[in-house]
Structure 1
Amino acid sequence: MDASTPNRLSIKKDCFWGGERREISNQNPNPNPNPNPLQSYGGRRRGKGLLVVVVCGWRFFCYLFFGFLLVSCFPPSFVSASPPTAIFGTSPPPINPGRTGGVVVVVVISVSVVVLVSVMAIFGCLRMKARRRAVVEGEGVEVVVAGEGEKGSAAAAVAVRRFSREEVGRLAANFARSRVIAYGGFSTVYLGKFTDSTLAAMKIIDGSSERLQRIFRQELEILLKIRHDNIVKILGFSEDEEQGALVLEYVSNGTLHDKLHSSKTSHLLPWKNRITIAVQLAGALDYLHEHCDLQIVHGDLKAANILLDSRLNCKLCDFGSAKMGFSSTVLPPSSRRMVQMIGSPGYADPHFLRTGIASKKNDIYSYGVILLELITGLEALSPDNNVRLISKVGPVLKDASKVAGMVDRRLAGEYELEEAMAMASLAALCLSDPPSLRPSASDIIQTMKNCVSSVTFPSSTDKML
């Protein structure tokens, strides 16, 4: 799917059973020159209520009509208890008691069916109304989406709330500078706080240009489709002409970049936690690349986009550069200058920069750089002389006997040499040129299972919510 093409979020409803399913389709809205693919998510509560009443009422009267039509097919329609009288001097034929009893049975059964169907229709409408009231409070509107699990399996539906701009402002304390927790290229992240003291990360994206609006819609669409234990979860969103907001789960322990490279960090990241993060990140990539109905390439994998929770579990975030629904895109030389940059300095795949071919292998290259950071404790791009980490340790990767000399000295020997050698060898494969020699995310996981003994490997289904 081309990121430049606006997408429409379509809605499928089943009012009779009381269910509501919202799906994401790749249809292009037409002829609206200024599409708003998120409009169908929010809607106005009054319009939706009217729609429910009209649809359910229409079905109710249809069932009622056909029920009485069925009854009318069996004359006489009603049986009188009084004896029949002559009309125009002609006596009616005698009544057959057996036939009368059969007609009464048919009438009773038909009316019972009509009443049952009518009660089911009313119950479905009331159930839908109750679900809308129960999920959220205030002005938020429920949006039911299905996070994808394994291909061919259904994941549990998750309610995502649409916020008004005023609500977002209140959650972020009117965007006070004291609430800022991070800055991005085109966004600012604020610490949000709900009335029950639950915290959230409020990512505010400038919507002043069509390009930024497209990036926001793209990230929102992807976050609504995915659900994995090692990927940051979306709680809600807000969108208007001036800005977009993503309300995300708050991950309290900073980023992997901070833990490895910041001088303000008081505690050194232990070796076992580093290996655990490598395993979890590989699992998240395997989910995105292989286990979504439409495969997803993250596009900007780096230590700063890996959040850590209180137990040092990783949470992959920032899908603003992600691509969905393709294996690779080959553009002619004249169009390569229009390709959106994939990756950050020190992490970007040189093959993509040379050819303009974007694929899952771009993420695998960046993953190899992160492995080197976990092993060495050095930054992907030196802040002193802008030398890439791969240039520093590349020669060492070719000689396994030298791996011990590249392990982070701050660990003071508290690591497993065999695991370090296996990780270094795996990093070398991920950094291979051409990309065809690089392993897939599932290959990486299998290699780790064979070479790493200090980490427990959960099944992929355990990591999906």
Structure 2
Amino acid sequence: MGHHRAIHLITNHGADLTPSQTRRQEHRFPNTSPKETTNITVDNVLIPEHNEKGTLLKSSISFQNIIEGTKNFHKDFLIGEGEFFEVYGVEIQNRTYAVKLFKQDKKMQYKKHWKRFLSELEVLLLFHHPHILELAAYFTEMEKFCLVYPYMRNGTLFDRLHCKGNTAPLSWHTRISILIGVSKAIRYLHNTQPCSVICGSISR
């Protein structure tokens, strides 16, 4: 997710980076004062540690939690897959999370996936809204790039609208509320400063 401007902002100092150059880094939004630091670095690329309102981002999840919880990304924990990523379910501290692991197939273009990862990460760290799913943690481990989100148990909006899994139909009041919520999130991204974000992939 992200506009080409967002990609440029985060990759202009790391244009020559490839995933094979990354060292192990765990990012859990350390609990430091805004006066002490306002950024963190991912392979020489600066990423804001605070959102646009100055709110500190925190997480108690470690990369070791992810490895142990998914049995090193075993297929038994795979709950979804896209063209560029796999999604694993994991239980950590009595909560369920979805771990979005970007694919690192040797046949794929590493730099393209690296930029996609950084672009999505930047947007999630900078922009916060009640109708945009918050990022719980993120990690770069050698050739593994992970984004961690709270797990949404009720399935996708597409599944609910089409009553997949014998779910009850959504009322028109609920459908309109969802439409308004999505519209507010898109409006927020399109009008945010200092640069807007055009979302090219809205989850259903």
Common fold: TM-score over 0.5: yes
Give the aligned partner of residue 192 of structure 2: 291
User: How high is the sequence identity, in percent, across the aligned residues?
Assistant: 22
- C-alpha distance in structure 2 between counterparts of 1:220 and 1:241, whole Å: 17
Q: Deviations over 1:411-458 (max 9, x none)?
A: xxxxxxxxxxxxxxxxxxxxxxxxxxxxxxxxxxxxxxxxxxxxxxxx
TM-score (norm: length of structure 1): 0.34
**1:219 CA drift (Å):** 0.9
Instruction: From the superposition, tell whether residues 181 and 42 of structure 1 become closer, same or farther in structure 2 (CA, over 3 Å).
Output: closer
Q: 1: CA distance between counterparts of 2:132 and 2:13?
A: 28
Give distance in 2, aligned partners of 1:128 and 1:269: 43
State the distance in 2 between where 1:215 and 1:188 align: 14
Asked if 1:147 is matched to 2:24, the reply is: no
Name the CA shift for 1:232/1:38 in 2 (closer, same or farther; >3 Å).
farther
1:174 matched to 2:72:
yes
- 1:156-305 equivalence runs, <5 A: 156-160=55-59, 163-164=62-63, 166-194=64-92, 196-208=93-105, 209-301=110-202, 305=203
- Segments of 4+ moved more than 6 angstroms: 35-39
Match runs of 1:113-124 below 5 Å: none
User: How big is the shift at 1:174?
Assistant: 3.0
Return the structure number with greater helix share: 1
How far does residue 155 in structure 1 lie from its aligned partner after superposition?
Answer: 4.7
**Which SS does the other structure have where 2:113 is aligned?**
helix
Q: 1:7 aligns with which of 5, 10, 13?
A: 10
RMSD of aligned C-alpha atoms?
3.3
Contact 1:193 1:200 (8 Å CA) reproduced: yes
What pairs up with 1:9-408 in 2 under 5 angstroms? Answer: 27-29=12-14, 33-34=16-17, 42=26, 145-148=49-52, 154-160=53-59, 163-164=62-63, 166-194=64-92, 196-208=93-105, 209-301=110-202, 305-306=203-204
**Post-superposition shift, 1:273?**
0.2
1:148-172 Cα shifts (integer Å, max 9, x gaps): 3xxxxx25222256843x4422122
Q: Which whole-Å CA distance do the structure 2 matches of 1:3 and 1:292 have between them?
A: 12
Higher relative contact order (CA 8 A, sep 6+): 2
The whole-number CA distance in structure 2 between the counterparts of 1:293 and 1:233 is 20
- The alpha-carbon distance between structure 1 residues 242 and 284, as it changes in their structure 2 partners (threshold 3 A), is same
Amino acid at match of 1:299: G
Q: How far did residue 42 of structure 1 move?
A: 5.0
Distance 2:141 2:167 in 1: 41
Task: For 1:255, give the aligned amino acid.
Answer: T
Gapped regions of structure 1 (runs ≥ 5): 9-26, 44-126, 130-142, 149-153, 307-465
Q: Alpha-carbon deviations, 1:347-395, whole Å to 9, x = none?
A: xxxxxxxxxxxxxxxxxxxxxxxxxxxxxxxxxxxxxxxxxxxxxxxxx
User: For the Cα contact (< 8 Å) 1:173–1:192, is it kept in 2?
Assistant: no
Helix, strand or coil for the counterpart of 1:159?
coil
Between Structure 1 and Structure 2, the one with more strand by share is 2
Distance 2:136 2:71 in 1: 18
Q: Tell me if the contact between 1:190 and 1:203 (Cα under 8 Å) persists in the aligned partners.
A: yes
Residue in 1 that maps onto 2:43: none
> 1:296/1:5 Cα in 2 relative to 1: closer, same or farther (>3 Å)?
closer
Q: Distance in 2 between matches of 1:163 and 1:189?
A: 17
CA offsets per residue over residues 228-262 of structure 1, 9 Å max, x none?
A: 11111111111134221111111111111001125
Q: Given that residues 139 and 147 in structure 2 are in contact (C-alpha distance below 8 angstroms), is that contact kept between their aligned partners in structure 1? A: yes
Q: How many residues end up aligned between the 2 structures?
A: 180
- Cα distance, 1:35 vs. partner? 6.4
Q: 1:170-228 deviations in whole A, cap 9, x for unaligned?
A: 1223323332222111211111111x211111111113422112211111111111111
Q: Residue type of the partner of 1:170?
A: E
Q: Unaligned stretches of 5+ in structure 2?
A: 34-46
- Distance in 1, matches of 2:145 and 2:78, equals 16
Q: Quick one: which amino acid aligns to residue 202 of structure 1?
A: V
